[in-house]
Chains A and B, each alone.
Chain A
């Protein structure tokens, strides 16, 4: 079965750029979506089709996908961006989620 691998945690200082990676075999050939989940809340779609930002999502969120790695980039990270981030793709008629990355804004 297809697997998506994310780092367990990422730390960033306020105002700096955070990069969260998602790795999978030939992931660049698939579309990737990203979700943000803050404590006690439902996941929120942030990025879809690799690079498209969902309406209402801050412009500091951007995505890319090439080769075996997709990346969610948060520019000018703010404290409100703390939470868990999940990548997701579609493979062999199955939705696959990455294990999630905890973003800490120190």
Chain B
């Protein structure tokens, strides 16, 4: 069974870089699918951050593109998120997720989410 688990600091200072890792078990990320991140500010809706295909194709939310990097670490079966120059507006629960991309998109496996707080 595919499982995803986020890890990383729960508190990041303003202007610093938010770094999260998603550990994947039950499926090799080098085999296929898109691997990405979605966030949800407290009490609000879902916002896609970006996704990276196992072979390298990467898509980012245009509103975050200048600050986001998603990397795959195939030897560890992990992938990561770096979000630079954070502000209080980046406070959210961050989910990692596996995505089926191409003619349609659907995220079929999600991590349990990790809350990251950026104090104002």
User: Which residues on A are within 8 Å of B, measured CB to CB?
Assistant: 1, 31, 33, 35, 42-45, 48-49, 54, 86, 88-90, 93-100
Contacts and interface: CB of A to CB of B under 8 A. Distances in A.
B27 interface: no
B48 A95 contact: yes
Nearest to A33: B106
Classify chain B's interface size.
20 to 34
Contacts of A35: 46, 107
B59 A95 contact: yes
Given A42-B112, A42-B113, A94-B59, A33 B105 contact: yes
Interface of B: 38, 45-48, 51, 59, 61-63, 95, 99-101, 103-108, 110-113
B48 A96 contact: yes
Nearest to A98: B45
A98 B47 CA distance: 9
